């Protein structure tokens, strides 16, 4: 089988592969050799796609590296993703906590899944509005 890419498709594929590799390996203690080999293989075609601005090759180590400029772009994208995920996850977890605290088990058993979802979503939207306005300014840990 043969797969063909144009230059833009190749760049996008490398970008997605690089971000995916970072995300997939972020919490692992051991390197994922298989994904590293796939990345190395895909990067080996960078000259065919005139992508010298994205990839650098070190002949002494026979290794491919993302250029600093491209790595900065990827890190910016990942930071935006992390921020978005953080605030949404925090809002959801706090909303779920509030829902569980404010409803007794008998009442919960009588609710349909859609009703539970609607109630949690209401709390979640309140938190999202608060976080958008104030960030962590009003957050406190109460012991």
Residue among 68, 123, 132 nearest 98 (CA): 123
Over residues 32-77, the pLDDT tens digits come to: 888 889 999 999 999 999 998 899 999 999 899 899 999 999 999 9
CA–CA distance, 52 with 64 (Å, rounded to integer): 11
Q: Given CA atoms 117, 120, 125, 131 in this order, what sign does their dihedral have?
A: negative
CA angle 81, 83, 86 (to 5 degrees): 105
Ramachandran assignment for 62, one of left (phi > 0), alpha (psi -120 to 50 degrees), beta (any other): left
Structural domain spans, the chain: 7-66, 80-134
CA–CA distance, 14 with 12 (Å, rounded to integer): 5
Over residues 89-123, the pLDDT tens digits come to: 999 999 999 999 998 777 778 889 999 999 999 99
Q: 119: helix, coil or strand?
A: helix
Q: Which whole-number Å values give the CA distances from 69 to 22, 39, 63, 73, 87, in the listed order?
A: 17, 18, 18, 6, 28
Over residues 2-23, the pLDDT tens digits come to: 999 999 999 999 999 999 988 8
CA–CA distance, 66 with 74 (Å, rounded to integer): 10
Residue among 74, 64, 100, 85 nearest 22 (CA): 74
For residue 124, is pLDDT > 80? yes
């Amino acid at each position: 089988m043969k797969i063909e890419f144009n230059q833009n498709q190749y760049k996008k594929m490398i970008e997605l592969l690089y971000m995916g590799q970072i995300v997939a390996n972020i919490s692992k203690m051991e390197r994922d050799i298989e994904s590293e080999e796939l990345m190395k293989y895909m990067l080996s075609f960078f000259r065919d796609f005139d992508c010298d601005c994205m990839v650098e090759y070190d002949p002494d180590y026979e290794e491919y590296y993302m250029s600093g400029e491209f790595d900065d772009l990827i890190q910016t994208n990942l930071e935006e993703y992390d921020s978005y995920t953080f605030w949404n996850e925090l809002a959801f977890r706090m909303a779920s906590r509030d829902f569980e605290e404010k409803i007794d088990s008998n009442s919960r058993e009588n609710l349909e899944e859609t009703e539970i979802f609607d109630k949690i979503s209401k709390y979640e939207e309140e938190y999202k509005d608060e976080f958008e306005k104030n960030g962590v300014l009003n957050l406190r840990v109460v012991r």
